[in-house]
Amino acid sequence: MPINADIHYQKAEDEYNDASTTEEKIKALQNMISKAPSHKGAEMLRKNLKTRLAKLKSSLEKSSRKGSFQKFNFKKEGAATVALVGTVNSGKSTLLKGLTNANVLIASYPFTTKKPEFGVLDYYGVKIQLVEIPAIVNNFLNTNDGKSLLGIINSCDLVVLLFNTPSDKKILDVELFDIKVKKIIYIEHENIKDKIWKNLDLIKIYTKEPGKPKAYPPVALDKGNTVRDLGLKVHKDFIKNFDYSIVNGNSAKFKNMRCGLKHVLKDDDIVEFHIKK
């Protein structure tokens, strides 16, 4: 016990030593800080306690972040990840099954899907990960898995919302009002694959060797990316020894346009790299 510390401090310290979880330790440490002697001689003690508290808080935050993803074994894969989010029986699993290879259960009773279900959508060779989130209900964040599921939703590049009735839509609006996703779309039964692709802000680019047909699958890039970005993704040597490229497709002003590294590409372009001999 430090000099001049009183009985209250001693009690808080005992609680700290007895604490078994990080949360309990944080609480006890905050108590110790508030009860620590305020004179100059105890300055070092107060500083040490605060450092210890900061470390505990950051380790708690890290483990809860990790936990939210590990709980469901979620790992982002592919060019982008899209969440299928909706109220009960809104057809999330039907959509997932229709668009991907996922073998999910579809049934007319509510809450058929109890954990996130994954599938891979193949868009002209570009792999896009889809994840069905179990149905969103009133007060969703306070349900057992609410926070973990929200963590998954927030890490996605696009959210597709599904619902059956206006009151279901209201549930989604209320429960998801502060999600941090770049983009949210509603799906009507139009050409869903194309709609998802259009909203991902990606482009698919084909590479090609001189004298050969275009290579498959295409490479997914962000909209606005250049020949340089493509080269970096395909083979770094293309950029190191770059001479010029031949571009055909939507960004080419004419057939076999000769372009430098800064040329901005468009969806479905075909690019041939020429390197210095």
Contacts to ligand GTP by CB under 6 A? 86, 88-94, 106-108, 110-113, 135, 164
Q: Is the peptide bond before 217 cis (omega within 30 degrees of 0)?
A: yes
CB of 63 to ligand GTP, least distance (A): 29
With contact defined as beta carbons under 8 Å apart, do 88 and 110 qualify?
A: yes
Of 42 and 102, nearer to Mg ion (C-beta) is 102
DSSP state of 74: -
Whole-number CA gyration radius for the chain? 27
Residue 22: alpha-carbon gap to chain centroid: 27
| Separation between Cα atoms, residue 134 and residue 277, nearest integer Å | 56
The secondary element (H helix, E strand) that includes residue 273 is: strand 270-275
Partner whose binding site includes residue 30, from Mg ion, ligand GTP, none (CB under 5 to 8 Å by kind) = none
Q: Is 113 in the site for Mg ion (CB under 5 A)?
A: yes
Of 32 and 88, nearer to Mg ion (C-beta) is 88
Q: Is 112 in the site for Mg ion (CB under 5 A)?
A: yes
Lay out the sheet containing 184-186: strands in order across.
Answer: 117-123, 126-132, 80-86, 158-162, 184-186
With contact defined as beta carbons under 8 Å apart, do 260 and 238 qualify?
A: no
DSSP state of 134: P
The secondary element (H helix, E strand) that includes residue 23 is: helix 22-35
Q: Is 93 in the site for Mg ion (CB under 5 A)?
A: yes
Q: Which stretch binds Mg ion (CB under 5 A): 29-37, 53-61, 104-112, 245-253?
A: 104-112
CB of 162 to ligand GTP, least distance (A): 6
| Separation between Cα atoms, residue 245 and residue 273, nearest integer Å | 5
CB of 137 to Mg ion, least distance (A): 13
CB of 151 to Mg ion, least distance (A): 19
Of 92 and 204, nearer to Mg ion (C-beta) is 92
CB of 158 to Mg ion, least distance (A): 19
Q: Is 94 in the site for Mg ion (CB under 5 A)?
A: no
CB of 225 to ligand GTP, least distance (A): 35
Of 32 and 96, nearer to ligand GTP (C-beta) is 96
Question: Can you give the binding site for Mg ion, defined by CB under 5 A?
Answer: 92-93, 112-113
